[in-house]
Structures are given as structure tokens and as C-alpha cells.
Structure 1
Amino acid sequence: MTTAPQAKADPKKNNPLLEIVFNILIPSLILMKLSGPEYLGTLVGLIIALAFPVGYAIYDFIKVGSLNFISLLGFFSTLLTGGIALFELDVEWLAIKEAAIPAIIGLVVLLSGFFGKPLLAKLLLNSFIFNLDLIYDTLDKKGKTEQFKRKINTANLVLAMTFVFSSTMNYLLAKWIVTSPAGTVEFNEQLGEMTLLSYPVIAIPSTLMLFGVLFYVIKMITQLTDIKFEDMMNAN
């Protein structure tokens, strides 16, 4: 019954390759290789490097027509990084900021479970991906709706824990790599190195954890309903 509006919004999607290029690769290259006095300089190099993720966020907002919660946090994260560098604040603030963003997301996920509306269900269980009518009707007929809700809450808790992992790793990575005072060439280079390393050290493991949660949810639905995987997926 919600298929029509969702199908309408479907054509515009994020491009993962562009996100990596504009949010990680180009800023890292500028910060690590072009921030010296013989090239762009510390300040100009920092501003140009941060302009790429900010510019991509604005472009994505114009293209999609909306900015989701996580994208909004990413946008403000970039601005905060720029503020810390431009105002030459203590580098401890960078580590705190790096940890705070995933921590906030994790807290939202955790609280959503306590209020009986797990965010996991909203993110994964939507009628664009799954045949929800078939799943919910089958659960109701088998009397397993409450068991399903308990398992979704468990998966939601695991999802929150993935953000705790990301928050911890972000803090440790920032503390380990960024040790030079803000406003220096060394700070820019270390910031670029941290941005580059954040993908294999944090983003990939976090993504694998998310796939693990998704696999658990699909397997759990299959066990509770006896519906085959291909039948529970929405073919529309």
C-alpha cells in the first residue's frame, strides 16, 4: 500500500564510489600532499580539502531533495573539523568530535529500541525491499509476532553496538595519528592520513557488521515464517 510513493522516490540514489572519492580520497590527497607552503599552504589546503565533502553533501541534497539524519551528521562533522583546525583548538577536540558522531547515532538507535520503535526495523524492514504484508500476515497466523519483535530488538541492540565500535575506533585512530597542533602543515597531513585510514580501519569493518545484522534478520524471518528468501523479497 506504500509501494507507489516509494517507487516514485527510487530513481535517485547515492553513488558509493563518488562518496569515497569526494569524502575521502580527494580531501586526503590535498591534505597530505598539497598543504605545504610550496603548494596551497596550510589554510587554503585545509579549506579546499574540506570543501569537497561539504560540496558533495550540498550536491547530494539538491539531487535527492532531502538530507537524512546520518548525512546531516556527516555534514556537520566536516564543518566541526574545519572549525577545530581554523580556530587552532586542542587536537583532543578532534578525537572527541570523531567519537561523538557515531556515538550519537548509536544512542539514537539504542533509545529507539527502548521506546518500542527500533530504528533497525525502519531502516531494513521497508516495503521496497521486503513483502511486508506476507511476512506480517504469516507471523500473525503462526502466533510469532511477539517473538519477532523481541528478536528485532536484539538485532537493534547489536546495531547500536556497531556504532559503539565505530565511535571507539574513531577516537583511538584520531589520538594515534593526529598529534600535531592545529593550523600546522603536519596537522593537515595527519588529518589526511586519518581520513584515508578511517575507511579500511573503521568503515569496512562497520559495514561488514551491518551486513551481519541484515543476514541475522533475514535468517530470523525465514525461521519464524518458513517463507523462502526469494518469496519474502519484494519483486516490484
Structure 2
Amino acid sequence: MAEKKASPLNDLIFNVIVPSVVLMKLSGDEYLGSVGALLVALAFPVLFGGYELIKYKKFNFISLLGFVSVLMTGGIGLLELDAKWLAVKEALIPGLIGLGVFISTFTKYPVVSKMLINDTVLNMALINEKLQEFNKKADFDRSLVFANYLFAGTFVFSSVMNYVLAKVIVTSPSGSQAFNEELGRLTLVSYPMIAIPSMVMMMGIFYYMWRQIRQMTQLETAQILKTEK
């Protein structure tokens, strides 16, 4: 039986679209008010994350950082801290992930290796056999390290872009209706301007590693992929 996975559409709806609409449209005093709208908007990603954790029984460090990010955003708004702290928070989360990816380069298990070069989807026994046969193991390991550096770089890009967008878009005092509306716009804008470019960069990294495997092992795609017998 195929493993059930979370729906990317649901992720987009509950983590981006619904919170943004609530913040931008319901923050007025005639609706939920600035505090009420902020609490409702933040409740969606928190409850959705909890639901997926229970349903799919998956939890990891990145999920934890996402949860902490939501709590920090709520804290900044409810405690009416200076809006500059929102920009710092927006940069901090991807920055920490990027740092973790970079540090993993110096361990036995670089993040890229765990994500891509594993027995789940690739025929690693045959790949390693061919790398040894053509004396390419050292070259392959260097390519893997380079790919991990590039992967860490995608989070550095996200960190910088998060900070810049937050500084440009969110300029009103926290706790105000205008702050909520700007936070909603930031959430909407950050997805196409940060998430999508980052995804494209990651796909480029995976394609780079795929090409390295093909060139160094002289294997065909059908031989590289692990297929069920």
C-alpha cells in the first residue's frame, strides 16, 4: 500500500490563503478586531499542523521550527512588539534550517544524502558498485558535498528575502489592524516570491545530483531507480 502523504493544496490553503484572508479582511473592529483576527489566522496553521501530525504520524525538526515561527508571530502581534522583530523572526527560521543543512555537511549524513541518495528510491547497491568500478567514489562524494552547500544556500536566499519583504511590507505598529493586513499580504507575497524560487533551486540541485550519478556510473535511468519486483 502506498504511503499517504499530506496534500500540497491543503497545505497552501490552511497555511497561506485562509490566514491571509482573515488578516486582511477581518481585522477591522466591525469584524474580529486586530487581536481576534490574529488569533484566528494563527490557529489555522497550528491546528492543521496538529491534524497532520496525528493523521500521518510524522514530525521533524522543520515542523517544529514552523510551529515556533507561528507562536513567535503571534507573540509579536499580541505583545505589540516593534515590527522590526517580525523581520528578524522571518529571517531566523530559514536561517536556522540553512545552518543545520550546512553543519550536516561535516557529518556522515548530509541532508541532501538523506533526502536523495538513499535506498528508498535509488538502487544504491548497484550505484556504489559502479562508482567503485569506475573509481568515481571520491568524485561523487565531492559532488554530494557541493550539492549540500547549494541546498544550504537556498535557505540563505529565503532568509534574506524574508527579511527584506518583511521590512518593506510590514511597517505599521504591531497589534494594529494595519499590522494584521500587512502581515496577511506578507504571507501571500512570500509564497510566490520565496517558496517557489526556492523550490526551483532545490529541483536544480536534485537534477545536478542525478546528472552526476548518470555520468559517473554510466547507468540508465531504469537501472538507477529502485523498482518493485
TM-score, with length taken from structure 1: 0.94
Q: Cα offset for 1:116?
A: 4.2
Among 173, 177, 180, the residue aligned to 1:185: 177
The aligned amino acid for 1:125 is I
Task: Report the equivalent of 1:3.
Answer: none
In the alignment, the residues of structure 2 paired with residue 72 and residue 16 of structure 1 have an alpha-carbon distance, to the nearest angstrom, of 18
Whole-angstrom CA distance in 1 between matches of 2:222 and 2:168? 46
Matches within 5 A, 1:109-188: 109-188=101-180
- State the Cα distance separating 1:141 from its structure 2 match: 1.9
Quick one: which of 217, 223, 226 aligns to 1:231?
A: 223
Q: Where do 5+ consecutive residues of structure 1 fail to align?
A: 1-6
Match for residue 45 of structure 1?
A: 37
The structure 1 residue matched to 2:77, chosen from 62, 76, 85, is: 85
Equivalent-residue separation in structure 1 for 2:47 and 2:132 (angstroms): 47
The separation in 2 between residues aligned to 1:16 and 1:125, in whole angstroms, is 23
Deviations 1:196-215 (A, max 9, x none): 00111000000000000000
Residue pair 1:105, 1:163 contacting (<8 A) in 2 also: yes
Q: Which residue of 1 aligns with 2:15?
A: 23
1:13-52 Cα deviation digits (max 9, x unpaired): 1211000000000000000011111111111111000000
Structure 2 residue aligned with 1:195: 187
Identity of aligned residues (%): 50
- Consecutive unaligned residues of structure 2, counting only runs of 5 or more, are none
Q: Matches of 2:186 and 2:138 in 1, distance apart?
A: 44
Amino acid at match of 2:126: L
Whichever residue aligns with residue 114 of structure 1, its letter is F
Residue 129 of structure 1 aligns to a residue whose secondary structure is: coil
Asked whether the 8 Å contact 1:30–1:45 carries over to 2, the reply is yes
RMSD: 1.1
Count the aligned residue pairs: 228
| C-alpha separation in 2, matches of 1:84 and 1:114 | 35
Q: With structure 2 as the length reference, what TM-score do the two structures score?
A: 0.97
Match of 1:69 in 2: 61
